[in-house]
Chains A and B, each alone.
Chain A
Amino acid sequence: MAEITSLHAAIGSLLHDGDTVAMEGFTHLIPFAAGHEAIRQGRKNLTLIRMTPDVIYDQMIGAGCAKKLIFSWGGNPGVGSLHRLRDAVEKDWPQQMEIQEHGHGDLSNAYVAGAANLPFAVLRAYAGSELPNYNKNIRFIECPFTGEKLAAVPAIRPDVTVIHAQKADRKGNVLLWGILGVQKEAVLAAKRAIVTVEEIVEVLDAPPNACVLPSWTLAAVCHVPGGARPSYAHGYYDRDNRFYQAWDEISRDRESFSQWIKKHILETADFAEFQKVLKENAKEQLV
């Protein structure tokens, strides 16, 4: 059964230095509040997994939380590069970071294999691509029935998966909808799962076939309204694109980045303070 608790307590007790962690979301429901809390608590040596690492992983990488990144597309969606990710890969700042890169089909299959408790995923891809030359976790196998050569990748089994969702009930059952990416698979593949939610309600009222994660698949549920900002939560709020654009400028420079992290994460009590800044300021003042 999930414990309904504060985000501070959940990250404190469930996410440890050195863990392999997936904070998933495909541009929707990005768990920004949880990422900020990991930075605030000074997590180190994490292996970060995500299909589409974006601004929150850029912040965690720049803040020195990550020793390795497993991913398939790393960018500031709709804006451009992730400057902290690039600085880590190109110039080892703030520390050397190993990368292991895949394609989306491959990484999403690897989560499915993790959720299914299988050792690896199989797919038809990568013939002719150079990616397998640089990622020893992409290999080829022969189909035992037809002899066809297929790609294989090891299952993903994070120590911790963190996602953001729209609703939970008082028992900790979680409902999410809209663009769901690999959130369900990432939760079911993980040893421990933390979900932050927009609201806690008496009854979920979920229609059949809705994406519900039962309380007993989760370790913690945390009530963090706005916890996906500046990304969006379908039915609750839109993406704050001003911040994605502002981030391009903030993150270009090590000094302005470090100042920003200090001011808006390290010296704040919780995510509500950053949300207040987002709400009350014009784009120019976000920098």
Chain B
Amino acid sequence: MSGANYTTTEMMTVAASRLLKNGAVCFVGIGLPSTAANLARLTHAPDIVLIYESGPIGAKPEVLPLSIGDGDLAERADTVVSTPEIFRYWLQGGRVDVGFLGAAQIDKFANINTTVIGNYKKPATRLPGAGGAPEIASCAKEVVLVLKQSPRAFVQKLDFLTSVGYLDGGEARKKLGLPGKGPVAVVTDLCIMKPDETTKELTVVQLHPGVTREQVQKATGWEIKFAMNVKETPAPTETELRVLRDLLQRTAVAHGQAPAA
């Protein structure tokens, strides 16, 4: 990465945003997914429909929300509905193309944990919990996951399986009869992984510029597989970086975390 004019977090955000197609209906988690989804909306996907679980549909926030239920999300949305309606009519109703989520832990079959680290009854760390993730992982037509890569996050065995990816791989998810296809990509600060067509095991398909296979392996708690032809992720363009940085700067000013320019 030496000499690059962008950070690894910026690369991750940009790479994730590129996976969202214009016009897609996208159910957005707070944090990194929300940043990447709004970057997509402000660059190549102006007609993307962003749904937040608090109720806004077609949200077009001027700045990134502090929380999942900011007033700005409601003010600039196509409509605002109740939370039961979001989950019943819109998500379970089959209208969401992409569920866009983060996680505390992920395993090689893209199952995720957002519940506890350690034992459930006496956890070492109590995490916030499921939120909307189990239903999103079940019902969105596809799921894209975005999180930083480290051995603490990419683990051999989850401490708790909150939301289902491909269980123990192969046909296991299909047998459950879930409406959604499951995770189609995992975007990190090092690479992009996709599930193998047959085994469903996460396989590195793209390395971000300057990242080595050794780095990826070191940041993964299992023996990571690489695709036959691993490509290099195109570096962020000037436009992508400018729009992302403007968005983050506007956000910091609006939330009182940076002085106005």
Contact = CB atoms under 8 A, between A and B. Distances in A.
A242 B256 CA distance: 9
A239 B132 contact: no
A244 B66 CA distance: 10
B91 A105 contact: yes
B139 to A, nearest CB: 7
Nearest to A149: B177
A128 B176 contact: yes
Interface string B118-140: 00101111101111111100110
B160 interface: yes
B151 interface: no
Interface stretch (B5-13, B35-43, B68-76, B212-220): B68-76
A81 interface: yes
B129 A181 contact: no
A18 interface: no
Interface in B48-88: 53-56, 65-71, 73-74, 80, 82-84, 86-88
A239 B131 contact: no
Nearest to A104: B132
Interface string B162-173: 111001000011
A134 B256 CA distance: 41
Contacts of A103: 130-135
Interface in A164-218: 178-182, 184-185
A37 interface: no
A179 B164 CA distance: 29
Contact of A241 (B87, B139, B255): B255
B69 A123 contact: no
Say whether chain A's binding surface is mostly helix, strand, loop, or mixed: loop
Contacts, number: 174
Interface in A124-159: 124-131, 134, 148-149
Contact of A74 (B65, B82, B129, B177): B129
B227 interface: no
A23 interface: no
A49 B87 CA distance: 19
A36 B73 CA distance: 28
A229 interface: no
Of B69, B123, B135, the most chain A CB neighbours within 10 A belong to B69
Given A101-B129, A124-B138, A125-B138, A77 B67 contact: yes
A89 interface: yes
A22 interface: no
B45 interface: no
A26 interface: yes
B126 A128 contact: no
B178 interface: yes
B51 to A, nearest CB: 13
A187 B69 CA distance: 20
B179 interface: yes
Contact of B134 (A111, A126, A149, A182): A126
B135 A104 contact: yes
B109 to A, nearest CB: 10
Nearest to A128: B164
Contacts of B82: 108, 180-182, 184-185
A85 to B, nearest CB: 7
A181 B54 contact: yes
Interface in A219-260: 232, 234, 238-239, 241-242, 244
Nearest to B55: A179
From B126, B131, B134, B173, name the one whose CB has the most chain A CB atoms within 10 angstroms: B134
* Across the A-B interface, the 8 shortest Cβ-Cβ residue pairs: A27-B69, A128-B164, A77-B67, A105-B135, A105-B87, A75-B128, A73-B131, A78-B66
Given A78-B66, A128-B178, A131-B134, 16 more contacts: A26-B68, A72-B129, A72-B131, A82-B128, A104-B83, A111-B84, A123-B135, A125-B139, A127-B177, A128-B111, A129-B161, A130-B160, A131-B115, A178-B80, A179-B56, A239-B70
21 contacts: A26-B68, A27-B67, A28-B69, A81-B128, A85-B126, A89-B126, A90-B125, A90-B126, A101-B129, A103-B135, A108-B83, A125-B134, A128-B161, A130-B162, A180-B80, A181-B54, A181-B83, A182-B84, A185-B82, A232-B71, A244-B66
Interface of A: 26-28, 51-52, 71-75, 77-78, 81-82, 85-86, 89-90, 101-106, 108-109, 111-112, 123-131, 134, 148-149, 178-182, 184-185, 232, 234, 238-239, 241-242, 244
